[in-house]
Amino acid sequence: MPKNKEIVLIIHNVRSALNVGSMFRTADGVGVSKIYVCGYSPTPDHPKVAKTSLGAEKTVPWEQHRQTWRLLEKLRASSFQLLALEQAKKSKNIFKLKALSPKPLALLVGNEVRGLSQQILKYCDAVVDIPMYGKKESLNVSVAAGIALYALKNSS
C-alpha cells in the first residue's frame, strides 16, 4: 500500500476519554485523514480527550455519529474498504495482510471490554487482529489502534 493511501479511523463505543484522546494523537502522527467518533465514545469537546490528544483534536478532522452502522454503510458507498480490529474466529493477522484493495481504508476499533459486536462486524470487509504472545489476551484499545494504523500505513 502506498504510504499516502487514505486511512480513516472509526472509534466505536470506547468509554475512556483518555483512550480517545490518545487515538487522536496517534492518528495525527500516522496521517489519518479523519476520525469518526461513534456511539457513546467521548468527543474532543471532553476535557480529558483534549488534554490527552495534545492538540491533535484540532489537526485531525473528526465527526460524531451515534449510529455506527449507518456510517459504515456510507463509507462503503464511498468505496472505502472496511477493516475491523477484533479478535474473532475468522480474523487475520494484520502483519500478514496481502492484496489490500487500492481503495481508501477505514479501521474500526471498539469498546475496551466488549470489543465489536457481531452485528457491527457484518458490515466490515475483513476482521484483523494483532497476534498476542504473552499471557494477556489483548492490548489497550488505543495501543492496539496505534499498532494497527502504523501496520496498515506501512504495508505494501
Please determine, for residue 125, whether its predicted confidence score (pLDDT) is greater than 50.
yes
d(CA 94, CA 101): 14
- Domains (range + CATH), the chain: 7-154 (3.40.1280.10)
Distance CA 113, CA 93 (A): 20
Average pLDDT, whole number, for the chain?
A: 93
pLDDT in tens, 22-41: 999 999 999 999 999 999 99
Sorted by sequence, the CB contacts under 8 Å of residue 153 that are 6+ apart come out as: 1, 3, 5, 7, 30, 31
- The pLDDT tens digits for 63-105 are 999 999 999 999 999 999 999 999 988 899 999 987 677 889 9
> What pLDDT score does 126 carry?
94
Q: What is the DSSP letter of 135?
A: S
